[in-house]
Chain A
Amino acid sequence: MNALQPNLVMLKKLLILAVVMFAFGYAMIPFYKKICEVAGLNNLLQPDTLVEETRLVDTSRMLTVQLDANTRGLPWEFKPLQSTVKIHPGELVEVMYEITNNSAREVTGQAIPSYAPLLVSQYIKKLECFCFTKQVLKPYEVKQMPVQFLIEPEFPGDIDSLSISYTFFEIGLSNGTTSNEDKSTKSKI
């Protein structure tokens, strides 16, 4: 038996450990998303389906929902048509947002939702939202878009105000990142 044998076995084991940990780094991304999904910390771009048709509306509580809108790097004006809505938990509401394309070209954008405080997102059920698909606006087009959502009656009692925010990013510029804009300029340098 070669005395090196145990060392090589150990080498193999430790290398596997290193490779597994490298993969683990990547695995943290879906992992984190899953955890966020379960804990309701992140926002998914898919419509939620309501399990029961009739839901209890908790009229004893009134929630103030603030609507917020942002754009990043695209020539759009984006705003909610009402800044706040007051709703009862369990009540289905529809709010409208408006986008205006201020440029002379066709622009495609994708909205990313975000909620504050962080914990509330697991209780927000969206049946319809402009954030489920990309939005294409012709030059100078104005578009009104609805969001249909409800807040589940299980919503924690100690929170009575929350914010729903959307940020539009431009996509379709080669591969859909805002950093591409930088890259195209970079190549010009």
Chain B
Amino acid sequence: MGSKVTAILVWVSTLILYPSMAAAERTDGILSTVNLPAAGSQIATEMYDLHMYVLYICVVIFIGVFGTMLYSVIVHRKSKGFKAANFHHSTTVEIIWTIIPFFILFGMAFPATQTIIDMKDTSTPDITIKATGYQWQWGYDYLQGEGEGIKFLSKISTPREQIRNEAPKGENYLREVDNNVVVPVGKKVRMLLTSNDVIHAWSVQQLGVKQDAIPGFIRDAWFKADKPGIYKGVCSELCGKEHAFMPIVVEVLAQEEYSKWVAGQKQESAEPAVDVNKEFTMDELKATGEKVYAGNCAACHQANGKGISGTFPGLDGSKIAVGPKADHIKMVLNGKAGSAMAAFKHLSDVDIAAVVTYERNAWGNTTGDLVQPSEIKAFRN
């Protein structure tokens, strides 16, 4: 019996201590490991408080009910010679314990209702950003407000060697991307969500946003960050093999810095785009190709082109990579249905030309083939 009581006591005390433990963490401002992370927006704060409020109520009820049961377990036992009573029914009691929970639930639902209404109010945004889910990265288009016209792709920047345990893991392991979504502080940002292939979900806990991105439809959500900083999120709907590897990083900047960032982006896009009809040299293509390969292909086919036996075919000496150019380009553009090979047509002609050239001339492959961006265009559908 002793062990039983101890076990129960341990659990009850965990339950009591937990909320206070969690609340303490919050004031420290550290990223919590036992509770919701510190809120970075008004809505997220309301969510945080609602959770604590509901949790406290549950803990109180829990202690009430199981305190009673525990007392009964300890006292009303046969081994202590306790004789069973004979009651088995009491309409009054049953009505009371049906009605009281009703009011408790009402007390929980009432504050939640206002938050839901606020959550849905996407009116009058300062900035509108469209996020498009791809397998497996995010595309962002600044549709309206300061920065209108900026668009970029954002994909995980954690090196594959770290994931494969071939290099020590960095501080931001799996929570870093090449291009952060940059927004100004204190401005209402409306997010439009859609997807290119399967359902993804755009989620940043600290900003109180989680919204599915559904192919063919748009959905909206909003946030207003309270203070500058980096806010991290993850794709929150299973979207295939690399689901764990498509993080979201929102960088909140002060207004002036945001304006500077926008100016920088505009300048970059104003620079003449690479001419797709330009003839590239082998070295240029291989250099670009190696980068594209590391970012898009090495996850499966490995940096050494050997693949992973039984799961992902190697490219070193493969039929596709040393066979006809056209098949190779089509494979990269369209992927292979029913397999893990995804379509990469969202990459630019230059990138695809470069990566195909690289694959045909790297490792043991020595086709000597040069694929120019102009050739890719012809294969696009």
Among residues 94 to 125 in chain A, which have CB atoms less than 8 Å away from a CB atom of chain B? Answer: 102-105, 107, 112, 114-118
| Residue from the list B220, B336, B378 in contact with A185, Cβ < 8 A | B336
Q: Specify which chain A residues have a CB less than 8 angstroms from the CB of B196 in the assembled complex.
A: 72
B interface: dominant SS: loop
User: Nearest Cβ distance between residue B363 and chain A, in whole angstroms?
Assistant: 25
Kindly supply a per-residue 1/0 record for chain A positions 61-73, scoring 1 wherever the CB is within 8 Å of any chain B CB and 0 otherwise: 0001010101010
Q: Specify which chain B residues have a CB less than 8 angstroms from the CB of A75 in the assembled complex.
A: 380-381
Kindly supply a per-residue 1/0 record for chain B positions 326-358, scoring 1 wherever the CB is within 8 Å of any chain A CB and 0 otherwise: 000000001111110000000000000000000
The CA of A126 and the CA of B122, in the complex, are separated in Å by 23
- Confirm or deny: B148 has a beta carbon within 8 angstroms of a beta carbon on chain A: yes
Q: Specify which chain B residues have a CB less than 8 angstroms from the CB of A154 in the assembled complex.
A: none
Q: Specify which chain A residues have a CB less than 8 angstroms from the CB of B194 in the assembled complex.
A: 70, 114, 165, 167
The CA of A16 and the CA of B335, in the complex, are separated in Å by 46
* Contact (Cβ within 8 A) A117 B143: no
Among residues 123 to 176 in chain B, which have CB atoms less than 8 Å away from a CB atom of chain A? Answer: 123-125, 128, 130, 132, 143-144, 148
* Contact (Cβ within 8 A) B192 A116: yes
User: Nearest Cβ distance between residue B168 and chain A, in whole angstroms?
Assistant: 39
The CA of A163 and the CA of B218, in the complex, are separated in Å by 9
Among residues 211 to 259 in chain B, which have CB atoms less than 8 Å away from a CB atom of chain A? Answer: 215-220
| Residue from the list B124, B215, B334, B377 in contact with A72, Cβ < 8 A | B215
- Confirm or deny: A34 has a beta carbon within 8 angstroms of a beta carbon on chain B: no
User: Nearest Cβ distance between residue B170 and chain A, in whole angstroms?
Assistant: 34
Q: Specify which chain B residues have a CB less than 8 angstroms from the CB of A114 in the assembled complex.
A: 194, 216-218
- Whether A112 touches B218, Cβ cut-off 8 Å, given contacts A103-B380, A186-B338, is no
Residue of A nearest to B379 (CB): A103
* Contact (Cβ within 8 A) B337 A107: no
Q: Specify which chain B residues have a CB less than 8 angstroms from the CB of A112 in the assembled complex.
A: 216-217
Query: In the complex, how many residues of chain A place their beta carbon closer than 8 angstroms to a beta carbon of chain B?
Result: 34
Residue of A nearest to B123 (CB): A160
User: Nearest Cβ distance between residue A107 and chain B, in whole angstroms?
Assistant: 7
- Confirm or deny: B190 has a beta carbon within 8 angstroms of a beta carbon on chain A: yes
The CA of A114 and the CA of B215, in the complex, are separated in Å by 11
Residue of B nearest to A180 (CB): B337
Kindly supply a per-residue 1/0 record for chain A positions 47-79, scoring 1 wherever the CB is within 8 Å of any chain B CB and 0 otherwise: 000000000000000001010101010110000
- Confirm or deny: A161 has a beta carbon within 8 angstroms of a beta carbon on chain B: yes
The CA of A173 and the CA of B217, in the complex, are separated in Å by 22
The CA of A160 and the CA of B215, in the complex, are separated in Å by 25
* Contact (Cβ within 8 A) A116 B220: yes
- Confirm or deny: A83 has a beta carbon within 8 angstroms of a beta carbon on chain B: yes
- Whether A189 touches B338, Cβ cut-off 8 Å, given contacts A66-B128, A66-B144, A165-B194, is yes
* Contact (Cβ within 8 A) B216 A158: no
User: Nearest Cβ distance between residue B336 and chain A, in whole angstroms?
Assistant: 6
Residue of A nearest to B148 (CB): A83
Residue of A nearest to B334 (CB): A185
- Confirm or deny: A135 has a beta carbon within 8 angstroms of a beta carbon on chain B: no
The CA of A41 and the CA of B218, in the complex, are separated in Å by 12
- Confirm or deny: B120 has a beta carbon within 8 angstroms of a beta carbon on chain A: yes
Known: A68-B130, A186-B337. 5 other contacts (CB 8 A): A84-B144, A114-B194, A114-B218, A117-B220, A165-B218
Which A residues are within 8 Å of any B CB, using their own CB?
A: 64, 66, 68, 70, 72, 74-75, 83-84, 102-105, 107, 112, 114-118, 158-161, 163, 165, 167, 169, 181-183, 185-186, 189
15 CB contacts below 8 A, A to B, read A66-B128, A66-B192, A83-B143, A83-B148, A84-B144, A102-B380, A116-B220, A159-B123, A160-B123, A161-B128, A161-B190, A165-B218, A167-B194, A167-B216, A182-B338
